[in-house]
Amino acid sequence: MALGGFFSRLKDGLARSTQKLSDGITSVVRRRRLDDDALEELEELLISADLGTEAAGRVIAAFRRSRFGKEVTDDEIRQALAEEIAAILAPVAKPLELDPAKKPHVVLVVGVNGTGKTTTIGKLALQYRQEGKRPVLVAGDTFRAAAVEQLQIWGERVGAPVVAGGAGADPAGLAFDALTRAQAEAADVLLIDTAGRLHNKGALMEELRKVIRVLRKQDASAPHSVLLVLDATTGQNALQQVRVFKEMVDVTGLVVTKLDGSARGGIVVALAETFRLPVHAVGVGEQATDLRPFDAGEFARGLVGLEVAAGP
């Protein structure tokens, strides 16, 4: 898919969540100059668009310093908002970098069920294949047979080997075998899928920790990345998911999916402000090519309803 298509899709998704923000900006500006009431309304709009109170407060404080009491146009407000939001997002917009000294670089992929873990692994594997790298996938979600098949289909599609066991296989054992094999083959990256939900949170934590423990017997520095996959459409829930998973494992970065749908893109700003974890990529669809680098500037512009460039 062309990048132009990506940006328009991202924008369509964002537009849905920010229609209210967009219309709200227009009505705030139409009535008066940027006085206390107008700033307060703007702040409420940002909060209702999922940015959260801290990020909204920060954006409005910057507005107050630079533009208080001034007559502003709709477009000036959008431009300025996009700049403030981009400033919050820029520090977290970091691609997932593989350490070339690690053969393989081990990536553990976690998240609640349905957020897009398995799909994201497939999409990442495709990108690595296109870069001429050799990924190996591990079907560590052994809780459901369908989950194993889903990853196998992705492996076939992108040309990456998939290490899988029988139904109910031990994910830690699988991860160990897969790492052994990937080391022997000097693979570049090992992508480990995990279950989103077990019987309860304690069981999930136990399983993830066991996978990590067992990996470390083989490579004391593994996993080199722990990716938490979040579904943007869950809005504020995503914040709670980060808290829960941070308690379980050492999350090193985020992937935010489903920014194409009825997305609530403002949540990415709240995530950046609250946790400062790198956002490595964003999902904008179900297809293999629908995983994109996270661009702070473009994202911020899309969020406030400005035109985004057709891409590099």
User: What residues line the site for ligand GTP (CB under 6 A)?
Assistant: 111, 113-119, 141, 147, 196, 229, 257-258, 260-261, 283-286, 290
Q: Which stretch binds Mg ion (CB under 5 A): 30-38, 118-126, 128-136, 299-307?
A: 118-126
* Burial (CB count <10 Å: 0-12, 13-18, 19+), residue 282: buried
Comparing CB distances to ligand GTP, the nearer of 219 and 260 is 260
Among ligand GTP, Mg ion, none, partner that 115 touches (CB below 5 to 8 angstroms by kind): ligand GTP
Among ligand GTP, Mg ion, none, partner that 257 touches (CB below 5 to 8 angstroms by kind): ligand GTP
Q: Which stretch binds Mg ion (CB under 5 A): 113-121, 155-163, 276-284, 301-309?
A: 113-121
Comparing CB distances to ligand GTP, the nearer of 228 and 272 is 228
Among Mg ion, ligand GTP, none, partner that 155 touches (CB below 5 to 8 angstroms by kind): none
Comparing CB distances to ligand GTP, the nearer of 256 and 270 is 256
- List helix spans (H) across the chain: 3-31, 36-48, 52-67, 74-89, 117-130, 145-158, 171-184, 201-218, 237-248, 266-275, 296-303
Give the residue carrying structure tokens 């309803």.
305
Among Mg ion, ligand GTP, none, partner that 47 touches (CB below 5 to 8 angstroms by kind): none
How many residues line the site for Mg ion (CB under 5 A)? 3
- Contact residue for Mg ion among 18, 22, 118, 257 (CB under 5 A): 118
Distances (CA, A) of 55 to 50, 81, 252, 257, 295: 10, 11, 21, 21, 18
CB of residue 27 to ligand GTP, shortest distance in Å: 31
CB of residue 140 to ligand GTP, shortest distance in Å: 10
Comparing CB distances to ligand GTP, the nearer of 114 and 297 is 114
Give the contacts of 49 (CB within 8 A, at least 6 positions apart): 17, 18, 20, 21, 264, 266, 303
Closest CA to 96 of 75, 124, 67, 117: 124
Among ligand GTP, Mg ion, none, partner that 258 touches (CB below 5 to 8 angstroms by kind): ligand GTP
Among ligand GTP, Mg ion, none, partner that 286 touches (CB below 5 to 8 angstroms by kind): ligand GTP
Closest CA to 136 of 170, 178, 174: 178
Pairwise CA distance, residues 237 & 312, whole Å: 33
CB of residue 128 to ligand GTP, shortest distance in Å: 17
Pairwise CA distance, residues 82 & 88, whole Å: 10
Among Mg ion, ligand GTP, none, partner that 284 touches (CB below 5 to 8 angstroms by kind): ligand GTP
Closest CA to 112 of 143, 135, 146, 149: 143
Q: Which amino acid belongs to residue 254?
A: L
Name the residue whose CB lies closest to ligand GTP.
283
Contact 310, 304 (CB under 8 A): no
Contact 305, 85 (CB under 8 A): no
Residues that bind Mg ion (CB under 5 A): 117-118, 147
